[in-house]
């Protein structure tokens, strides 16, 4: 898409900016809000079906194919069943919070979707209005804020259930969401630095055309989608969005082997469980939509389509947005089909000791590049600071590397010595090994005969 000269790209009509919001009459706002609500509800309904269908095709089976054509009505049937089942409330729970928790979980999930841009300015019932419910100067932070309110639902669901599994699951998953939120917030910084704004509609507009950068007399066209330009940011975001939504491989809260159902153990049936599940799927849609907005050019058409003049105007962009959303969601399913669940300590160590430091280093590099792009900046200062930081990092790295190397060698020597000692002993240090000179071994020196050759 990107390295083509701007002439090749269709003249990108400037998308809506912050100034275009807050002018809608009330009824247009209500239409948009209802549309998002219905979109998400249907998305959950058919998202579950799509996920089950796709994952079963990946596992060589058919998946739901009984209710309706292609099993399309399976989720509807499941939902009806949940609505009609007896609503069991365990006797010992804290009744108020037990009922409140699923609601606290689901409301912010829906709210967060309100800043997602679906498309450019369109004419809707005689009103010229952007295809986005609302936007604000801190729209991306709003998503983070809603995510951190949603964590209350998890914690309270775990606490109010009064069950050890639930409280452990609740603590685990909230600790996970809170720590991955930090890495997620840091992965936005690169985008903010390049887009120069925190508003979603303007970030999409900033990805309409790649900027240019002067490097030693050459003018380089930067790619327009931030996924290319800021690939480390995107990769970290992609990992954190799995952690943030508690999806495989980070779905430890529901590690069945250890925690039964995690914080939702006591929500065994009924609509409360349906709400929790809905919140989970809506969160997946929100982070997917955010990844599209921040890294994949939002509702803008990808390259071959963008050659067509009408690609980025009117109602068409909604289709591109939807296709991108389906693709990102499919990636979620694909990951779920391929990866096993990781251990809890590995998860936390990965988040805090790998993702966050990597992210900070990357932000430093992005900021340096941005500082060089500002013309009135003193380049000598930037270069000197960069050199100082670089030398410091290299010194620290060499120091740690030699220490680690020494430690590794010591460990290897220790293992070697232990093997030598155990081999010399006939008892093998107390391990239950059969004596290696038994007759059917033909002696220890004989070469192994591969099976099937005799």
Partner 1 sequence: MGETITFWVLAVVSVSAALGLVFSRKAVYCALMLGVVMLSLAVLYAVQDAPFLAAVQIIVYTGAVMMLFLFVLMMVGVDSSDSLVETIRGQRFWAMIAGIGFAVLLALAVGQAAIGDPAGVTGANQRAGGNVPALAELIFTRHVFAFEVASALLITAALGAMVLAHRERTRPRPTQKDLAKARFVSGYPGPLPGPGTYARNNAIDMPARLPDGSVSELSVNRVIARHDVEDGRLPDDPELAEAIRQAAAEEEEHNASIAGPKEDR
Taking the least distance from each CB to partner 1, the nearer of 159 and 234 is 159
Position 430 contacts partner 1 (CB under 8 A): yes
Contact window for partner 1 (CB under 8 A) among 2-10, 141-149, 290-298, 392-400 = 141-149
Two tokens at 265? Answer: 């153990």
Applying CB under 8 A, among 171, 319, 331, 371 the residue interacting with partner 1 is: 171
Position 257 contacts partner 1 (CB under 8 A): no
- Cα–Cα distance, 19 to 166 (Å, whole number): 46
Position 124 contacts partner 1 (CB under 8 A): no
Applying CB under 8 A, among 2, 17, 65, 148 the residue interacting with partner 1 is: 148
Q: Which single residue is written with the structure tokens 């209500």?
A: 30
- Cα–Cα distance, 288 to 44 (Å, whole number): 13
Strands 119-124 and 212-215: unpaired
Position 142 contacts partner 1 (CB under 8 A): yes
Position 141 contacts partner 1 (CB under 8 A): yes
Position 323 contacts partner 1 (CB under 8 A): no
Q: How many CB atoms lie within 10 A of CB 91?
A: 6
Q: Which helix (H) or strand (E) holds 421?
A: helix 379-424
Taking the least distance from each CB to partner 1, the nearer of 369 and 428 is 428
Contact window for partner 1 (CB under 8 A) among 30-38, 42-50, 166-174, 226-234 = 166-174
Taking the least distance from each CB to partner 1, the nearer of 56 and 148 is 148
Position 266 contacts partner 1 (CB under 8 A): no
Two tokens at 418? Answer: 């232990």
Tell me, what DSSP letter sits at residue 310? G
Tell me, what DSSP letter sits at residue 183? H
Q: Are 262 and 255 in contact (CB under 8 A)?
A: yes
Radius of gyration of the chain (CA): 28
What residues between 212 and 241 interact with partner 1 by CB under 8 A?
Answer: none
Position 98 contacts partner 1 (CB under 8 A): no
Taking CB under 8 A as the rule, which mask of x and - marks residues 186-205 in contact with partner 1? -----------xx-------
- Cα–Cα distance, 166 to 4 (Å, whole number): 54
Torsion of CA 368, 356, 155, 80, to 10 degrees: 80
Taking the least distance from each CB to partner 1, the nearer of 110 and 299 is 110
Task: Count the helices and strands in the chain (H runs, E runs).
Answer: 15, 4
Of 114, 180, 194, 120, nearest to 146 by C-alpha is 114
Taking the least distance from each CB to partner 1, the nearer of 67 and 97 is 97
Its sign, for the CA torsion 230, 236, 53, 173, is negative
Torsion of CA 166, 171, 173, 177, to 10 degrees: 150
- Cα–Cα distance, 150 to 287 (Å, whole number): 14
Q: How many residues appear in the chain?
A: 454
Q: Are 147 and 136 in contact (CB under 8 A)?
A: no
Q: Are 5 and 221 in contact (CB under 8 A)?
A: yes
Q: Are 299 and 204 in contact (CB under 8 A)?
A: yes
Applying CB under 8 A, among 10, 33, 41, 178 the residue interacting with partner 1 is: 178
Position 138 contacts partner 1 (CB under 8 A): yes
Taking the least distance from each CB to partner 1, the nearer of 149 and 305 is 149
Position 167 contacts partner 1 (CB under 8 A): yes
Applying CB under 8 A, among 111, 116, 122, 155 the residue interacting with partner 1 is: 155
Applying CB under 8 A, among 121, 156, 184, 279 the residue interacting with partner 1 is: 156
Taking the least distance from each CB to partner 1, the nearer of 41 and 136 is 136
Position 149 contacts partner 1 (CB under 8 A): yes
Q: Which single residue is written with the structure tokens 């509702």?
A: 299
Position 348 contacts partner 1 (CB under 8 A): no
What residues between 10 and 49 interact with partner 1 by CB under 8 A?
Answer: 18
Contact window for partner 1 (CB under 8 A) among 112-120, 172-180, 241-249, 308-316 = 172-180
Taking the least distance from each CB to partner 1, the nearer of 145 and 222 is 145
Output the smallest distance, CB 58 to partner 1, in A: 31
Contact window for partner 1 (CB under 8 A) among 58-66, 130-138, 281-289, 400-408 = 130-138
Size of the site for partner 1 (CB under 8 A): 33
Of 206, 207, 16, 208, nearest to 128 by C-alpha is 16
Q: Which helix (H) or strand (E) holds 128?
A: strand 127-131
- Enumerate binding residues for partner 1 (CB under 8 A): 18, 94, 97, 136-138, 141-142, 144-145, 147-149, 151-152, 155-156, 158-159, 167, 170-171, 174-175, 178, 181, 185, 197-198, 429-432
């Amino acid at each position: 898409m990107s390295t083509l000269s701007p002439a090749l790209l269709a003249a990108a009509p400037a998308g809506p900016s912050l100034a275009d919001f807050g002018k809608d009459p009330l009824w247009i706002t209500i239409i948009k809000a209802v549309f998002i609500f219905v979109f998400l509800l249907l998305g959950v309904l058919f998202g579950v079906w799509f996920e089950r269908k796709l994952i079963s095709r990946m596992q060589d089976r058919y998946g739901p194919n009984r209710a309706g054509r292609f099993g399309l009505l399976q989720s509807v049937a499941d939902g009806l069943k949940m609505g009609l089942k007896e609503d069991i409330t365990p006797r010992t729970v804290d009744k108020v919070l037990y009922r409140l928790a699923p609601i606290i979980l689901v409301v912010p999930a829906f709210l967060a979707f309100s800043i997602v841009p679906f498309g450019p300015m369109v004419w809707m019932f005689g009103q010229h209005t952007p295809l986005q419910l609302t936007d604000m100067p801190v729209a991306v932070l709003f998503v983070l804020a809603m995510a951190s309110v949603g964590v209350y639902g998890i914690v309270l669901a775990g606490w109010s259930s009064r069950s050890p599994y639930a409280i452990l699951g609740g603590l685990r998953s909230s600790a996970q969401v809170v720590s991955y939120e930090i890495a997620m917030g840091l992965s936005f910084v690169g985008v903010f630095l390049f887009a120069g704004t925190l508003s979603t509609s303007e970030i999409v507009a900033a990805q309409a055309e790649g900027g240019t950068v002067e490097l030693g007399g050459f003018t380089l066209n930067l790619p327009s989608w931030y996924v290319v330009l800021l690939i480390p940011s995107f990769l970290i975001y992609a990992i954190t969005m799995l952690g943030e939504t508690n999806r495989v491989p980070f779905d430890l809260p529901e590690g069945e082997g250890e925690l039964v159902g995690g914080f939702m153990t006591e929500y065994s049936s009924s609509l409360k469980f349906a709400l929790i599940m809905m919140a989970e799927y809506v969160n997946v849609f929100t982070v997917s939509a955010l990844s599209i907005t921040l890294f994949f050019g939002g509702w803008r058409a990808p390259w071959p389509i963008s050659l067509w003049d009408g690609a980025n105007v009117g109602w068409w962009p909604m289709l591109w947005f939807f296709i991108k959303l389906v693709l990102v969601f499919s990636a979620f399913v694909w990951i779920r089909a391929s990866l096993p669940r990781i251990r809890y300590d590995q998860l936390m160590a990965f988040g805090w000791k790998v993702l966050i430091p990597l992210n900070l280093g990357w932000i430093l590099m992005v900021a340096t590049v941005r500082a060089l792009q500002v013309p009135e900046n003193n380049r000598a200062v930037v270069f000197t600071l960069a050199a100082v930081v670089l030398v410091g990092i290299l010194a620290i790295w060499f120091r740690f590397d030699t220490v680690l190397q020494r430690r590794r060698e010591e460990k290897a020597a220790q293992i070697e010595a232990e093997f030598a000692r155990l081999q010399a002993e006939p008892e093998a240090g107390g391990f239950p090994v059969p004596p290696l000179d038994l007759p059917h071994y033909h002696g220890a020196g004989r070469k192994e005969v591969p099976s099937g050759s005799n």
